[in-house]
Structure 1
């Protein structure tokens, strides 16, 4: 089973830059995007064979997430609480019989850190949400998480300590999540590789010289480790300041995980 995640930095612009070519080439079971930057009715994507689930931000041209999938879910949720609503369109959860897929666009704390407090509150709410889901069945959590976890996750770590996306507060939230029974899939396969990045500034030659940050992730429940086949970064794919990332999971093993039929309950968020 093939998963793709990509912060497209505006889906309409990305479509003009070849999004659909990459989409067709990947033929993924799940294709998650972040920062769609549009409202309902502003684009019509003809994705034959795919169900489409969009979460639009109230603010025009801002944030937003979507999931395109070949697998019809049992339930779809668009928030972190019982209101099933997120005003900035930052999360979509699909529920299946034996697993969840959660697509997230984490708030940026801003260059001057004026939104750091809001960001940390989001992290706490999301952490509680993921833990609740994980108690019921394993999950596949992906998206632009707007944090470089370790020094090897960005090129210029020494000059970026304390900057947005590399503060001790943001990094500690990621550490807490991974310590609570979750796995950073790319580090599972490449624990020490220090040149894998997913975001680059638009400044001239920055991407060509690979002066980047790894801030896009596939994170899964620990119990899915035996089913993991590949975690990859499509760094050569253009169209956004981020590149797509991919995950391959053994479909048969994934379907066999989660709670038993007699014990199954569905989350009502």
Structure 2
């Protein structure tokens, strides 16, 4: 089974920049997107063979998630009841026969950390949501988690300590999650490989010089470890300030 996740930073713009070419070429069984930045009726995607599920933000041109899947899920839930961020369309949870898929766009703490408190509350709610589902069947979590977990996951880690996405608090939430019985799949295969990033600033030549952050993840329940085939980032694919990530798993 092939799964792809991509923060498209505006799906309509990404479509104009080649989204469908990549989508058709990669032929994923499940394709998750974050930061769609649109409302219902603002785009019509012809995705033959896929069921489409959308969680729109109430605010126009902001946030939002979607999942395109060849296999119809047994059930679909939108959000996790989180009061402040529920209207932002940040989570889709799908149940399949052998696993849960959770597609997530984690709130950014903002440059001045004004949203750090809300972000940490979100982390606790998401953690509880994942653990409850993991009791029933294995979980595959994917999306833009807006945190570079380790120093290896960010090019200029020394100058970014304490910045949004690289605070001790945010990183500790990720550590807690992985210590609770989950695997960061890319680091499972490439534990010491440097230069694997999924987001780059739009500043001139930053992406060309690979001055990036790895903030997009596929994370799975520990008991799926022997099912993993590969996990990687497609950094050559343009169209967004993020690149797609892919997980291959035998289920």
Per the normalisation by structure 1, the TM-score is: 0.92
Q: Which runs of 4+ in 1 moved over 6 A?
A: none
Identify the residue that residue 243 of structure 1 maps to in structure 2.
243
Alignment of 1:62-81 (within 5 A): 62-81=62-81
SS of equivalent residue, structure 1 residue 87:
helix
SS of equivalent residue, structure 1 residue 159:
helix
1:209 aligns with 2:221: no
Identify the residue that residue 97 of structure 2 maps to in structure 1.
97
SS of equivalent residue, structure 2 residue 246:
strand
Q: Which has the larger radius of gyration?
A: 1
**Which whole-Å CA distance do the structure 1 matches of 2:230 and 2:134 have between them?**
22
C-alpha change, 1:144 and 1:201, in structure 2 (3 Å) is same
Identify the residue that residue 168 of structure 1 maps to in structure 2.
168
Identify the residue that residue 258 of structure 1 maps to in structure 2.
none
Identify the residue that residue 57 of structure 1 maps to in structure 2.
57
1:152 aligns with 2:138: no
Computed over aligned residues only, the root mean square deviation of the Cα atoms, in angstroms, reads 1.1
**Which whole-Å CA distance do the structure 2 matches of 1:73 and 1:201 have between them?**
35
Identify the residue that residue 267 of structure 1 maps to in structure 2.
none
Identify the residue that residue 259 of structure 1 maps to in structure 2.
none
| Contact 2:82/2:122 (8 A) holds in 1 | no
Identify the residue that residue 141 of structure 1 maps to in structure 2.
141
SS of equivalent residue, structure 1 residue 43:
coil
C-alpha change, 1:82 and 1:244, in structure 2 (3 Å) is closer
Superposed displacement of residue 104, structure 1: 0.2
- The answer for unaligned runs of 5 or more in structure 2 is none
**Which whole-Å CA distance do the structure 1 matches of 2:79 and 2:147 have between them?**
21
In the alignment of these two chains, the number of paired residues is 250
| Contact 2:8/2:34 (8 A) holds in 1 | yes
Please list the CA deviations of residues 82-116 of structure 1 after superposition, one character each: whole Å capped at 9, or x if unmatched: 99x92100000110121001100000000000000
Alignment of 1:1-269 (within 5 A): 1-81=1-81, 86-250=86-250, 254=251
**Which whole-Å CA distance do the structure 2 matches of 1:239 and 1:97 have between them?**
33
| Contact 2:111/2:164 (8 A) holds in 1 | yes
**Which whole-Å CA distance do the structure 2 matches of 1:147 and 1:95 have between them?**
26
Please list the CA deviations of residues 69-93 of structure 1 after superposition, one character each: whole Å capped at 9, or x if unmatched: 001001000021499x921000001
**Which whole-Å CA distance do the structure 2 matches of 1:88 and 1:225 have between them?**
32
Greater shift, 89-98 or 42-51, is seen at 89-98
- The answer for unaligned runs of 5 or more in structure 1 is 255-269
| Contact 2:82/2:125 (8 A) holds in 1 | no
Please list the CA deviations of residues 46-85 of structure 1 after superposition, one character each: whole Å capped at 9, or x if unmatched: 00000000000010000000000001001000021499x9
Please list the CA deviations of residues 223-261 of structure 1 after superposition, one character each: whole Å capped at 9, or x if unmatched: 0000000001000000000000000001xxx2xxxxxxx
